[in-house]
Amino acid sequence: MIFGINMRIIAKELFYILGLAFLTYFVMEIFWQGIVLSYFNINWVLLLWVITAILIVLISNKKNGNK
């Protein structure tokens, strides 16, 4: 908990939405080439998604260690 916010829940929510965003942008790119990539590199979404996944693992490990 940081400032009363459960970081694990936040990271989990971000993990789901970033995964969904990546998938959505990927499908959009397949059907309409350049629609996303012309404005934004979707690799950033993938990178953030991986970071949130690592965060979830780290927070879970810390929680289990405290027990």
Partner 1 sequence: MTINKIIKFRIILFLLLFASVCFFFYKAIIPSGKIIYTNNFEKENYFLGKLSPNERLATGDKKIENIIIANPVYFNLYTPRTFDKAILKYRYKNTAKTPLIETGVLVDKNAWRYDLQPVENRLIDQLSLVWNQIRDGDEMLLIRPETLGGEYGINYSGIKDFILNPPEFNKIAAYNYNLSFNYILDDYQPSESITQDIPALRGAYQFFVYLKNEDLYLDFIFYDLNKNKDSDDFDIRLYFNDELIDFKRIEDDNNISDNGEVSKENNFQFKLANLPEGAYKIEVKANNDIITKIIKSRHKKMAFIHKIELFNAGKEDIKLYTDSNSIQATTIFPESLQIIKVNENNFDINETYKQFEILTDNYGASSEILLQKDGLILSGDGVFAFSQYSLINPKIKKADYNLDVNKAGIDYIIAKYKSPLKTGEWSVAEVEIDLAQAYRENNKSSFIISAPALKQEYNKELYFDLIEIELSGRGLFDKINDFWN
Residue ranges that bind partner 1, judged by CB under 8 A: 5-6, 9-10, 13-14, 17, 20-21, 24-25, 28, 32-39
Q: Which is nearer to partner 1, 31 or 64 (CB)?
A: 31
Minimum CB separation from partner 1 for residue 12, in Å? 9
Contact (Cβ atoms closer than 8 angstroms) between residue 58 and residue 24: no
Minimum CB separation from partner 1 for residue 58, in Å? 19
d(CA 59, CA 30): 35
Query: CA neighbours within 13 Å on the CB side: how many for 33?
Result: 0
